Amino acid sequence: MSFVETNQERCQNCGGVKEFDAVVSAIVCRNCGGRRAVERKAAKRQSLEVAIRGQAQDKKWTSEVEVMRCNSCGATEIFRKGNISDVCPFCHSVHIDRPDEGKGNPPGGIIPFKISREQAFEAIDKKVKSNKWASRAFKDTFRVDTIKGLYTPVYCFDSKVEGGYSARVGETFQVRKNINGQWHTVNEVRWRTVNGRVNQVFEDILIEAGNKVSTYTLRELEPYNVKGALAFDISFLKGFSASCATKEIQQGFNQAKAVMDGRIRELIKRLNNAALIQDIQINVRHNNTQFKYLLMPIYVATFNHKGKAQNLFVNGESGKVVGRLPKGSKKVAGAIIGGALLAAAGVLIYLFASGILG
């Protein structure tokens, strides 16, 4: 199944279709080759405090875009007016609604696509060919027109963190002990209480803001050149579509705080030379927290496997491929039987890992 072309513009010279060309980073007419540059300014940060108080200048995305909602999988996408897709890019369903609401605010920045759809196809094809567990049927039927360029929304946080912590940190050591008349070497932990100050600047903590690409997938797709994000211009969407942010900024920040707490925890372990940590109390203030609402370039390949729509993802900047390939059923059975025999040697894990892309 192929997609209808989305977000197109007609060339004034020849009437041809103009699209954002990822490789040359300009709007290009497919017919006459006429080019137009897109203005490139750096993406702006916003203050979190101002955004949460609702005082940000809300220029709503109104007349220039339309929203598509998929009744099968829940995907919500933005299109330039008049260019809406009839087919869901995630599940190929044609059960599409066009709700009036749900556009939210336009993003503050965008990381434009750098590789073409054909290059994304080649990246997947290379992975498929080198993966001996991949389904033969998938190898034979996978085509470039099952791939769609999609901008997915993320929040990107910067925060200055100050405060204190206390924790119990432990180091392990070995002792000889006499147990029931026999000498054994036993591991024991020596715990001590530590406390100190935290003074840390975090930058570019990425949290997904939509509902169709998981945090896990986003982490796998990283890195992106977040520092090079450009101010949003709707021209970048020509030939692509974009998912809407469905997450409130406060909810996104709560997730970002959890990520930062995890990093602080690792920092405390390092500072105290500790192998183990428990009873950790982190009491910090976030100062001058800023965020960018960005669109990230992802190619989504959608295919049917055993009656279910599945996706592979490609980083639209670097060509990195993420997701599980469908496995051939005979090969899977062989892997499981072989794995059971060799499980004691830990080979099972290797067999499963070798079937996973990334």
Q: Which residues bind Zn ion (CB under 5 A)?
A: 11, 13-14, 16, 29, 31-32, 34, 70, 72-73, 75, 88, 90-91, 93
Residue 34 CB, nearest approach to Zn ion (Å):
5
Looking at the Cβ atoms of 69 and 327, the one nearer to Zn ion is 69
Residue 275 CB, nearest approach to Zn ion (Å):
46
Residue 311 CB, nearest approach to Zn ion (Å):
10
Looking at the Cβ atoms of 280 and 309, the one nearer to Zn ion is 309
Give dist(CA 115, CA 296) in Å, integer.
13
Residue 30 CB, nearest approach to Zn ion (Å):
8
Looking at the Cβ atoms of 159 and 311, the one nearer to Zn ion is 311
Do strands 109-110 and 276-305 pair parallel, antiparallel, or not at all (unpaired)? parallel
Looking at the Cβ atoms of 99 and 334, the one nearer to Zn ion is 99
Looking at the Cβ atoms of 73 and 280, the one nearer to Zn ion is 73
Looking at the Cβ atoms of 53 and 308, the one nearer to Zn ion is 308
Residue 308 CB, nearest approach to Zn ion (Å):
12
Residue 91 CB, nearest approach to Zn ion (Å):
3
Do strands 46-47 and 65-70 pair parallel, antiparallel, or not at all (unpaired)? unpaired
